[in-house]
């Protein structure tokens, strides 16, 4: 008997990031020389004091169920972190701990909106944004943010997209995959639009807040427009800053009415997050950021090395990222060109396949809702990143305007 799948699950796809990573791993296992620039996680290890805290929790027997919205100790640590690092004051009922930031986002869209409610998602996007909306019955409204606007949402785009059905705006800062970082003036311009549309909530995904190359400190929309706090969900976590992707801890800070609804979803989907991981996250937030500057400097050096190498690649236009650990590249200049074997590069997906044949695993911009682009991760060693750039330049140089 054929299994009949729900319409919900048929609205979404397997994460393209996971699929690209799996293909690179498969080729490496088969002996191919593949430089993997797909991975969206730090290549640095979790700091030792955080691992020690997890072991201490195990030794102390902290291995039981936790409260669904998270342990009180960790939630209080999140409150302190938000006040110390983000200059934002929340109360305990306004903080929620999930199994990674992805679950926090999913729970929010499961709790809101109703069927057909619209969620504005600027592209390029992290694929979970539109798919979490679709899975939960909402309608993602995709707004293309091109190179000319540095892949950032313009206030006039936002104004034109809002309808009576709009329930959320997703704002990812710094962006994945773009690395774009909104200035205070840009955030204020968006806030001016949001003030006119009080039914619109804002999901602020700031996982990469401390991975930035401008030497500044995180500047939040809610610092500039505090009145939006009553209809905003701030999403953060430990994955990127503390190199704790596998520990699966994220948090959400929002008005208590939303946190309560998200907790109801969590209670039926997964219960509380791992007790040991929460103990580790507590140590992360309490331990400071002294370890981070050398890592950010390493990301910046890799970014610069890759950009320098890609400058030699005909047909590519690089968006210089201000944060995160990705380099997003427009590849319109190679679309329509031909490989030496006569095959045409008809899309950014075709380019990703061509690059893989040259030993570089990257992800086509189609995975992020914007084509023709390609995303390269710099969360790997400097030597590998620089060599990957050389290979990409070589691959592009081999393309011809006419079929051989």
Note the pLDDT tens digit of each residue in 360-387: 999 999 999 999 999 999 999 999 999 9
* Total structural domains within the chain: 2
User: Do residue 58 and residue 171 come from a single domain?
Assistant: yes
CATH of the domain at 296: 3.90.1150.10
Q: What mean pLDDT do residues 330-349 have? A: 97
From 286, 308, 336, give the residue that closes a domain: 286
Q: Which two tokens stand for residue 160?
A: 């034109």
pLDDT at position 1: 67
Sole residue written with tokens 């903080």? 95
From 261, 286, 311, give the residue that closes a domain: 286
For residue 98, the enclosing domain spans 50-286
User: Do residue 155 and residue 301 come from a single domain?
Assistant: no
- Please provide the average confidence, as pLDDT, over all residues in the chain: 95
Residue 2 inside a domain? The answer is no
Residue 347 inside a domain? The answer is yes
Note the pLDDT tens digit of each residue in 38-48: 988 999 999 99
Residue 204 inside a domain? The answer is yes
Asked whether the predicted pLDDT for residue 184 surpasses 90, the reply is: yes
Q: Are 198 and 210 in contact (CB under 8 A)?
A: no
Note the pLDDT tens digit of each residue in 121-154: 999 999 999 999 999 999 999 999 999 999 999 9
User: Do residue 305 and residue 183 come from a single domain?
Assistant: no
Q: What mean pLDDT do residues 198-209 have? A: 97
Residue 141 inside a domain? The answer is yes
Report the share of the chain in percent with pLDDT over 90.
88
Q: What mean pLDDT do residues 79-90 have? A: 97
Asked whether the predicted pLDDT for residue 2 surpasses 90, the reply is: no
Residue 326 inside a domain? The answer is yes
Whole-prediction pTM value? 0.96
User: Do residue 220 and residue 260 come from a single domain?
Assistant: yes
- 366/343 Cα distance (integer angstroms): 20
User: Do residue 75 and residue 54 come from a single domain?
Assistant: yes
Residue 197 inside a domain? The answer is yes
User: Do residue 188 and residue 164 come from a single domain?
Assistant: yes
User: Do residue 21 and residue 99 come from a single domain?
Assistant: no
With b for 16 or more beta-carbon neighbours within 10 A and e for fewer, the 374-384 pattern comes to bbbbbbbeeeb
CATH of the domain at 216: 3.40.640.10
Sequence-distant (6+) residues with CB within 8 A of 292 are: 210, 241
User: Do residue 95 and residue 129 come from a single domain?
Assistant: yes
User: Do residue 185 and residue 85 come from a single domain?
Assistant: yes
Residue 1 inside a domain? The answer is no
CB atoms within 10 A of CB 252: 28
Note the pLDDT tens digit of each residue in 387-397: 999 999 999 99
Question: Which of the residue ranges 15-29, 327-341, 350-364 would you say has the lowest mean pLDDT?
Answer: 15-29
pLDDT at position 30: 87
Q: Which residue has the higher pLDDT, 216 or 112?
A: 112
User: Do residue 57 and residue 39 come from a single domain?
Assistant: no
Q: Which two tokens stand for residue 167?
A: 């329930």
Q: Which residue has the higher pLDDT, 58 or 25?
A: 58
Residue 235 inside a domain? The answer is yes
pLDDT at position 115: 87
SS (H, E, C) the chain: CCCCCCHHHHCCCCCHHHHHHHHHHHHHHCCCCCEECCCCCCCCCCCHHHHHHHHHHHHCCCCCCCCCCCCHHHHHHHHHHHHHHHCCCCCHHHEEEECCHHHHHHHHHHHCCCCCCEEEEEECCCCHHHHHHHHCCCEEEEEECCHHHCCCCCHHHHHHHCCCCEEEEEEECCCCCCCCCCCHHHHHHHHHHHHCCCCCEEEEECCCCCCECCCCCCCCHHHHCHHHHHHEEEEEECCCCCCCHHHCCEEEECCHHHHHHHHHHHHHHCCCCCHHHHHHHHHHHHCCCCCHHHHHHHHHHHHHHHHHHHCCCCCCEEECCCECCEEEEECHHHCCCECCCCCECCCHHHHHHHHHHCCEECEEHHHHCCCCEEEEECCCCHHHHHHHHHHHHHHHHCCECCCC
From 234, 255, 286, give the residue that closes a domain: 286
User: Do residue 180 and residue 252 come from a single domain?
Assistant: yes
Please state whether beta strands 166-172 and 201-205 pair in parallel, antiparallel, or not at all (unpaired).
parallel
The β-bridge partners of 107 are none
pLDDT at position 231: 98
Note the pLDDT tens digit of each residue in 213-268: 998 777 799 999 999 999 999 999 999 999 999 999 999 999 999 999 999 999 99
Q: What mean pLDDT do residues 286-307 have? A: 97
User: Do residue 122 and residue 193 come from a single domain?
Assistant: yes
pLDDT at position 92: 98
Q: What mean pLDDT do residues 47-75 have? A: 98
């Amino acid at each position: 008997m054929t299994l009949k799948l729900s319409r919900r699950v048929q609205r979404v796809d397997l994460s393209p990031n996971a699929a690209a990573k799996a293909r690179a791993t498969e080729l490496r296992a088969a002996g191919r020389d593949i430089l993997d620039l797909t991975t969206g996680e730090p290549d640095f290890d979790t700091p030792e004091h955080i691992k020690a805290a997890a072991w201490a929790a195990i030794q102390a027997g902290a291995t039981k169920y936790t409260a669904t919205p998270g342990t009180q100790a960790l939630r209080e640590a999140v409150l302190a972190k938000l006040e110390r690092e983000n200059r934002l004051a929340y109360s305990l009922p306004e903080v929620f701990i999930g199994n990674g930031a992805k679950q926090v986002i999913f729970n929010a869209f499961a709790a809101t909106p109703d069927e057909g409610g619209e969620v504005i998602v600027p592209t390029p996007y992290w694929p979970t944004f539109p798919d979490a909306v679709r899975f939960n019955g909402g309608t993602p409204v995709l707004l293309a943010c091109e190179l000319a606007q540095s892949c950032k949402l313009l206030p006039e785009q936002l104004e034109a997209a809002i309808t009576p059905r709009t329930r959320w705006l997703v704002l990812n800062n710094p962006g994945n995959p773009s690395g774009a970082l909104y200035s205070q003036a840009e955030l204020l311009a968006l806030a001016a639009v949001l003030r006119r549309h009080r039914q619109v909530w804002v999901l602020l995904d700031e996982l990469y807040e401390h991975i930035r190359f401008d030497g500044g400190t995180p500047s939040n929309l809610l610092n500039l427009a505090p009145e939006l706090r009553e209809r905003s969900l701030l999403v953060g976590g430990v994955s990127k800053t503390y190199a704790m992707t596998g520990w699966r801890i994220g948090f959400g800070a929002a008005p208590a009415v939303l946190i309560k609804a998200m907790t109801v979803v969590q209670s039926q989907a997964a219960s509380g997050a791992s007790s040991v991981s929460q103990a580790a996250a507590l140590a992360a937030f309490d331990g400071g950021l002294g370890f981070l500057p050398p890592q950010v400097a390493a990301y910046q050096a890799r970014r610069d090395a890759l950009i320098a190498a890609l400058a030699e690649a005909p047909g590519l236009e690089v968006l210089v990222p201000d944060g995160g650990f990705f380099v997003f590249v427009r590849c319109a200049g190679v679309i329509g060109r031909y490989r030496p074997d006569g095959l045409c590069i008809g899309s950014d997906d075709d380019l990703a396949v061509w690059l893989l044949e040259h030993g570089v695993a990257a992800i086509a911009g189609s995975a992020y809702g914007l084509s023709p682009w390609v995303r390269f991760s710099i969360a790997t060693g400097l030597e590998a990143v620089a060599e990957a750039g050389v290979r990409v330049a070589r691959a592009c140089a081999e393309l011809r305007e006419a079929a051989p």
